[in-house]
Amino acid sequence: MSSEELPGTYTVSWTDMASGTQADYEMLTPAFEHHARAALVPNLLGMLDLLKGPTLGYQVDRYEHSLQSASRALRNDESVDLVVGALLHDVADGFAPENHSEAAAALLAPYVDEQTHWVIKHHGIFQGYYYFHHLGGDRDARSLYAESPHFDACVQFCAEYDQNCFDPSYTSLPIEEFRPLLDEVFSRPSRVPGVAPAREN
Ligand SMILES: [Fe+2]
Ligand SMILES: [Fe+2]
Protein backbone atom coordinates (compact mmCIF):
# COMPACT_ATOMS: atom_id res chain seq x y z
CA MET A 1 0.00 0.00 0.00
CA SER A 2 1.43 3.39 -1.00
CA SER A 3 1.49 6.33 1.37
CA GLU A 4 -1.27 7.97 -0.72
CA GLU A 5 -3.55 5.08 0.17
CA LEU A 6 -2.93 5.01 3.91
CA PRO A 7 -5.98 5.75 6.05
CA GLY A 8 -6.71 9.44 6.41
CA THR A 9 -4.89 10.55 3.27
CA TYR A 10 -7.78 10.06 0.85
CA THR A 11 -11.32 11.24 1.37
CA VAL A 12 -14.28 10.42 -0.78
CA SER A 13 -16.46 13.18 -2.20
CA TRP A 14 -19.77 11.67 -1.10
CA THR A 15 -21.67 11.19 2.15
CA ASP A 16 -23.74 8.16 1.22
CA MET A 17 -22.28 4.80 0.31
CA ALA A 18 -24.66 4.40 -2.61
CA SER A 19 -22.73 7.15 -4.40
CA GLY A 20 -19.39 5.35 -4.16
CA THR A 21 -17.57 4.13 -7.24
CA GLN A 22 -15.55 1.00 -7.83
CA ALA A 23 -12.39 3.11 -7.57
CA ASP A 24 -13.53 4.46 -4.21
CA TYR A 25 -14.14 1.04 -2.75
CA GLU A 26 -10.93 -0.34 -4.21
CA MET A 27 -9.21 2.33 -2.11
CA LEU A 28 -11.43 2.29 0.97
CA THR A 29 -11.50 -1.44 1.59
CA PRO A 30 -7.76 -2.16 1.72
CA ALA A 31 -7.25 1.08 3.65
CA PHE A 32 -9.68 -0.14 6.31
CA GLU A 33 -8.24 -3.63 6.36
CA HIS A 34 -4.69 -2.24 6.74
CA HIS A 35 -5.81 -0.01 9.59
CA ALA A 36 -7.87 -2.71 11.26
CA ARG A 37 -5.08 -5.28 11.18
CA ALA A 38 -2.55 -2.82 12.59
CA ALA A 39 -4.91 -1.85 15.42
CA LEU A 40 -6.23 -5.32 16.21
CA VAL A 41 -3.76 -6.63 18.78
CA PRO A 42 -3.41 -3.27 20.59
CA ASN A 43 -7.21 -3.04 20.74
CA LEU A 44 -7.51 -6.57 22.12
CA LEU A 45 -4.89 -5.78 24.75
CA GLY A 46 -6.86 -2.66 25.64
CA MET A 47 -9.98 -4.78 26.03
CA LEU A 48 -8.08 -7.12 28.33
CA ASP A 49 -7.01 -4.11 30.41
CA LEU A 50 -10.70 -3.44 31.06
CA LEU A 51 -10.73 -6.61 33.17
CA LYS A 52 -8.31 -5.09 35.68
CA GLY A 53 -9.66 -3.97 39.01
CA PRO A 54 -12.83 -5.41 40.49
CA THR A 55 -12.42 -8.90 41.95
CA LEU A 56 -16.17 -9.27 42.43
CA GLY A 57 -15.69 -11.58 45.42
CA TYR A 58 -13.01 -13.77 43.89
CA GLN A 59 -9.40 -13.59 45.10
CA VAL A 60 -8.06 -12.28 41.79
CA ASP A 61 -9.41 -9.87 39.19
CA ARG A 62 -10.45 -11.08 35.76
CA TYR A 63 -7.23 -9.79 34.19
CA GLU A 64 -5.17 -12.02 36.46
CA HIS A 65 -7.66 -14.84 35.81
CA SER A 66 -6.99 -14.44 32.08
CA LEU A 67 -3.22 -14.39 32.54
CA GLN A 68 -3.41 -17.50 34.72
CA SER A 69 -5.49 -19.27 32.11
CA ALA A 70 -3.06 -18.45 29.29
CA SER A 71 0.02 -19.13 31.43
CA ARG A 72 -1.20 -22.58 32.40
CA ALA A 73 -2.04 -23.36 28.77
CA LEU A 74 1.38 -22.18 27.56
CA ARG A 75 3.24 -24.06 30.28
CA ASN A 76 1.25 -27.14 29.34
CA ASP A 77 2.49 -26.88 25.73
CA GLU A 78 -0.95 -26.22 24.30
CA SER A 79 -1.21 -24.88 20.75
CA VAL A 80 -0.71 -21.18 20.11
CA ASP A 81 -4.39 -21.05 19.15
CA LEU A 82 -5.51 -22.39 22.51
CA VAL A 83 -3.09 -20.20 24.47
CA VAL A 84 -4.44 -17.11 22.72
CA GLY A 85 -7.97 -18.41 23.22
CA ALA A 86 -7.28 -18.86 26.91
CA LEU A 87 -5.91 -15.33 27.21
CA LEU A 88 -9.01 -13.87 25.55
CA HIS A 89 -11.73 -16.28 26.70
CA ASP A 90 -13.28 -13.72 29.06
CA VAL A 91 -12.27 -10.58 27.17
CA ALA A 92 -15.91 -9.81 26.31
CA ASP A 93 -17.08 -9.80 29.94
CA GLY A 94 -17.30 -6.02 29.99
CA PHE A 95 -19.46 -5.48 26.93
CA ALA A 96 -21.28 -8.79 26.42
CA PRO A 97 -22.02 -10.00 29.94
CA GLU A 98 -24.97 -12.14 28.86
CA ASN A 99 -23.08 -13.99 26.11
CA HIS A 100 -19.41 -13.38 26.76
CA SER A 101 -18.39 -16.82 25.46
CA GLU A 102 -20.01 -16.30 22.07
CA ALA A 103 -18.66 -12.75 21.83
CA ALA A 104 -15.08 -13.83 22.56
CA ALA A 105 -15.43 -16.68 20.07
CA ALA A 106 -16.62 -14.24 17.42
CA LEU A 107 -13.47 -12.15 17.92
CA LEU A 108 -11.32 -15.26 17.51
CA ALA A 109 -13.28 -16.96 14.72
CA PRO A 110 -11.36 -15.59 11.70
CA TYR A 111 -7.96 -16.50 13.10
CA VAL A 112 -7.98 -19.66 15.25
CA ASP A 113 -8.59 -23.32 14.50
CA GLU A 114 -12.10 -24.75 14.59
CA GLN A 115 -11.67 -26.54 17.90
CA THR A 116 -10.33 -23.51 19.74
CA HIS A 117 -13.23 -21.45 18.40
CA TRP A 118 -15.74 -24.09 19.55
CA VAL A 119 -14.15 -24.39 22.99
CA ILE A 120 -14.19 -20.66 23.63
CA LYS A 121 -17.73 -20.33 22.27
CA HIS A 122 -19.06 -22.97 24.65
CA HIS A 123 -16.82 -22.52 27.69
CA GLY A 124 -19.51 -20.68 29.64
CA ILE A 125 -22.01 -23.53 29.71
CA PHE A 126 -19.23 -26.08 30.26
CA GLN A 127 -17.89 -24.01 33.15
CA GLY A 128 -21.37 -24.25 34.65
CA TYR A 129 -20.47 -27.79 35.70
CA TYR A 130 -18.68 -26.19 38.63
CA TYR A 131 -21.49 -23.99 39.94
CA PHE A 132 -24.84 -24.17 38.14
CA HIS A 133 -26.15 -26.73 40.69
CA HIS A 134 -25.44 -24.31 43.54
CA LEU A 135 -27.89 -21.90 41.93
CA GLY A 136 -30.67 -24.38 41.23
CA GLY A 137 -29.48 -25.16 37.71
CA ASP A 138 -28.22 -28.24 35.94
CA ARG A 139 -24.47 -28.68 36.24
CA ASP A 140 -24.63 -31.12 33.35
CA ALA A 141 -26.19 -28.62 30.98
CA ARG A 142 -23.13 -29.14 28.80
CA SER A 143 -24.35 -32.70 28.05
CA LEU A 144 -26.43 -31.02 25.35
CA TYR A 145 -23.19 -31.04 23.35
CA ALA A 146 -22.16 -34.62 24.13
CA GLU A 147 -22.03 -35.52 20.45
CA SER A 148 -19.62 -32.73 19.56
CA PRO A 149 -16.10 -33.82 18.59
CA HIS A 150 -14.91 -30.90 20.71
CA PHE A 151 -16.77 -31.91 23.90
CA ASP A 152 -13.75 -33.41 25.67
CA ALA A 153 -11.53 -30.48 24.71
CA CYS A 154 -14.00 -28.06 26.24
CA VAL A 155 -14.27 -30.13 29.42
CA GLN A 156 -10.48 -30.11 29.64
CA PHE A 157 -10.26 -26.38 28.97
CA CYS A 158 -12.60 -25.58 31.83
CA ALA A 159 -10.93 -28.05 34.19
CA GLU A 160 -7.35 -26.98 33.53
CA TYR A 161 -7.53 -23.42 32.24
CA ASP A 162 -10.63 -21.81 33.70
CA GLN A 163 -12.21 -23.13 36.93
CA ASN A 164 -8.77 -23.35 38.60
CA CYS A 165 -7.49 -19.94 37.52
CA PHE A 166 -8.54 -17.91 40.54
CA ASP A 167 -5.39 -18.55 42.60
CA PRO A 168 -3.59 -15.50 43.99
CA SER A 169 -0.51 -17.63 44.75
CA TYR A 170 -0.04 -18.69 41.13
CA THR A 171 2.79 -16.92 39.29
CA SER A 172 1.42 -15.90 35.91
CA LEU A 173 3.57 -14.96 32.98
CA PRO A 174 3.58 -11.23 32.14
CA ILE A 175 1.35 -10.07 29.31
CA GLU A 176 4.46 -9.31 27.22
CA GLU A 177 5.10 -13.05 26.94
CA PHE A 178 1.90 -13.39 24.94
CA ARG A 179 2.43 -10.53 22.51
CA PRO A 180 4.30 -12.65 19.91
CA LEU A 181 1.56 -15.26 20.07
CA LEU A 182 -1.13 -12.62 19.60
CA ASP A 183 0.78 -11.13 16.68
CA GLU A 184 1.12 -14.56 15.08
CA VAL A 185 -2.54 -15.51 15.39
CA PHE A 186 -4.03 -12.15 14.42
CA SER A 187 -1.81 -11.72 11.36
CA ARG A 188 -3.20 -14.87 9.74
CA PRO A 189 -5.48 -14.67 6.71
CA SER A 190 -9.12 -14.59 7.76
CA ARG A 191 -10.94 -17.93 7.83
CA VAL A 192 -14.31 -16.21 7.48
CA PRO A 193 -15.62 -13.81 4.81
CA GLY A 194 -14.10 -10.40 5.36
CA VAL A 195 -15.10 -6.87 4.55
CA ALA A 196 -15.19 -7.42 0.82
CA PRO A 197 -16.34 -10.44 -1.15
CA ALA A 198 -14.00 -12.10 -3.62
CA ARG A 199 -14.11 -10.54 -7.06
CA GLU A 200 -16.16 -12.66 -9.47
CA ASN A 201 -14.61 -11.29 -12.68
FE1 LIG B 1 -15.93 -17.18 30.91
FE1 LIG C 1 -12.84 -17.64 32.79
**Residue-range domains of the chain with CATH:** 47-185 (1.10.3210.10)
- Is-contact 66 87, C-beta < 8 A? yes
DSSP symbol at 170: S
Helices (H), the chain: 22-49, 62-75, 80-88, 100-108, 114-127, 151-161, 179-185
What string of DSSP letters covers 135-160? GTS-TTGGGGGTT-TTHHHHHHHHHH
What pLDDT is attached to residue 201?
A: 41
pLDDT in tens, the chain (201 residues): 444 445 557 899 999 999 999 999 999 999 999 999 999 999 999 999 999 999 999 999 999 999 999 999 999 999 999 999 999 999 999 999 999 999 999 999 999 999 999 999 999 999 999 999 999 999 999 999 999 999 999 999 999 999 999 999 999 999 999 999 999 999 999 998 776 665 554
- Other C-beta atoms within 10 Å of 55: how many? 13
- Taking the model in full, what pTM does it have? 0.92
Amino acid at 48: L
* Ligand 1 centroid to residue 82 C-alpha, Å: 14
What pLDDT is attached to residue 2?
A: 47
Distance CA 134, CA 142 (A): 16
Q: Which ligand is nearest to the CA of 104?
A: 1
Q: Which of 72, 101, 53 is nearest to 178 (CA)?
A: 72
Q: Which residues have CB atoms below 5 A from the ion given as ligand 1?
A: 90
Residue 182 burial (10 A CB sphere; 0-12, 13-18, 19+): buried
* Ligand 1 centroid to residue 102 C-alpha, Å: 10
